[in-house]
Amino acid sequence: MWDLISKIIPTPVIVGLLVWGLISAIFLQPLVEERQANITYIPQCKAGKLPQVALRQTPRNKTPDDETETVQPPMAVQIVSELRNIFKRDDEAYTTLRYANMDSCSCSVGVAYERSFWPSLGNVMSFGLFEPRSIKFLEVRVAQIKASGICG
């Protein structure tokens, strides 16, 4: 497999892309996210200019007899989640504990960025040329998180 890839793409280019990915994930992405949050999303949230969203209602008529089983994610998803935690230098994946001392807008923006880590990394690595839907409509995600009450 490596031989085929190294015949198509030179090894220094592959190593350079890996180094650029690590630099982007560890240093640049948190910087870009913090600046975007402070300039755009947090003031928009505090001013009440977030889009109106309708939350999905979950059915509440479940009986205790309903059998529910816990489904474990595939091993690849678990590995990627652990890599994500290493890149973010954080042991608490997908929790709002670190946002507990913040206001609801800062917490909502933080959780929204946390849930769109990989698309945001692609956006940062491509200097903004690649803009996935989850980044393009991040204010909708912030509004959904704020309306859901996750951040109080």
Condensed to tens digits (0 to 9), the pLDDT of residues 10-27 reads 889 989 999 999 999 999
Answer yes or no: is 67 within a domain.
no
Please say whether the beta carbons of 81 and 93 come within 8 A: yes
Domain assignment present for 125: yes
Indicate whether 133 belongs to any domain.
Answer: yes
- Helix then strand count (H, E) for the chain reads 9, 0
The tally of domains found in the chain comes to 1
58 lies in a domain?
A: no
Helix (H) or strand (E) holding 116: none
149 Rama sector, left if φ>0, alpha if ψ -120 to 50, beta otherwise:
left
In a domain, 23, yes or no: yes
Q: Is residue 22 part of a domain?
A: yes
Q: Report phi then psi at 123, rounded to 5.
A: -65, -45
In this prediction the pTM is 0.65
140 neighbors 44 (Cβ within 8 angstroms)? no
Residue range 68-121, pLDDT digits in tens: 555 666 776 677 777 666 665 544 444 545 666 678 888 888 888 888 888 999
Q: Could you list the residue range(s) of the whole structural domain that residue 46 is in?
A: 2-51+73-148
